[in-house]
């Protein structure tokens, strides 16, 4: 047995049994719940507690990121949705019809993030269409973050269940 085979036998390169996939999944969801419309959540809390310059910085950053998100959605939204749906459909076809495990893993990462992206555009648009007090902005962003966290928990649970199913079925069938 050569060195290359020994390394790949020691480190399983399949998606759901690979530690790096699970670390990546945790990082993706941690980042998604920390960055609310491009604003770090600790900055929102600091602005809410202290007001003044922290609140001004928060409002500026929220305005910049929301306008950027809305600009991308308005200018290239159909293309982004089209390419995204093509990639997700490719992952579904390869993953669930042809059994390509990496495509399944990418689908379990990409599909919920697509939902989060749509929710982010909706929240940004709602913030710009009507006037809001600063307290209403805080509440809307907290609600958005809560929804992102709920989607993340459900997504991680479903991914873990599917990953266990795949790993057990491969183990039973002999891979």
Q: Is 35 exposed, middle or buried (0-12, 13-18, 19+ CB in 10 A)?
A: middle
- Residue 169 within a domain: no
Distance CA 86, CA 5 (A): 35
Task: Quick: pLDDT tens for 88-111.
Answer: 999 999 999 998 899 999 999 999
pLDDT range class, residue 16, cuts 50, 70, 90: confident
Query: Is residue 3 assigned to a domain?
Result: no
Do the beta carbons of residue 55 and residue 134 sit within 8 Å?
Answer: yes
The pLDDT of residue 94: 95
Is 92 inside a domain boundary?
yes
Give yes or no for residue 171 having a pLDDT over 70: no
Closest CA to 37 of 110, 160, 128, 135: 128
Query: Mapping DSSP to helix (H, G, I), strand (E, B) and coil, where does residue 132 land?
Result: coil
Residue 174 in domain:
no
Largest CA distance in the chain: 68
The answer to whether residue 38 is domain-embedded is no
Answer yes or no: is 26 within a domain: no
CA pseudo-torsion sign 145, 148, 153, 154: positive
| Residues paired with 40 in a beta bridge | 35
Residue 65 lies inside a defined structural domain of this protein: no
User: Is pLDDT of 175 > 80?
Assistant: no
pLDDT at 124: 95
**Residue at 12 is within a domain:** no
- CA-angle at 154, arms to 122 and 137, nearest 5°: 30
Rounded mean pLDDT of the chain? 90
pLDDT, tens digit (0-9, with 9 covering 90-100), for 122-154: 999 999 888 889 999 999 999 999 999 999 999
Mean pLDDT of 55-82: 95
DSSP summary character for residue 93: I
Owning domain of residue 151: 71-161
**Number of structural domains found in the chain:** 1
């Amino acid at each position: 047995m050569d060195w290359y085979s020994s390394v790949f036998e020691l480190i399983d390169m399949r998606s759901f049994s690979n530690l790096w996939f699970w670390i990546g999944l945790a990082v993706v969801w941690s980042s998604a719940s920390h960055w609310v419309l491009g604003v770090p959540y600790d900055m929102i809390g600091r602005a809410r507690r202290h007001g003044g310059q922290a609140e001004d910085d928060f409002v500026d950053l929220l305005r910049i990121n929301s306008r950027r998100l809305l600009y991308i959605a308005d200018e290239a939204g159909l293309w982004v949705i089209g390419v995204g749906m093509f990639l997700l459909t490719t992952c579904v076809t390869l993953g669930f019809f042809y059994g390509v495990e990496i495509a399944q893993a990418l689908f379990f990462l990409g599909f919920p993030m697509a939902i989060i992206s749509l929710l982010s555009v909706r929240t940004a648009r709602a913030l710009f269409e009507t006037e809001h007090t600063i307290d209403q902005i805080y509440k809307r962003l907290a609600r958005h973050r809560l929804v992102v966290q709920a989607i993340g928990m459900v997504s991680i649970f479903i991914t873990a269940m599917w990953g266990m199913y795949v790993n057990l079925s491969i183990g039973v069938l002999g891979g």
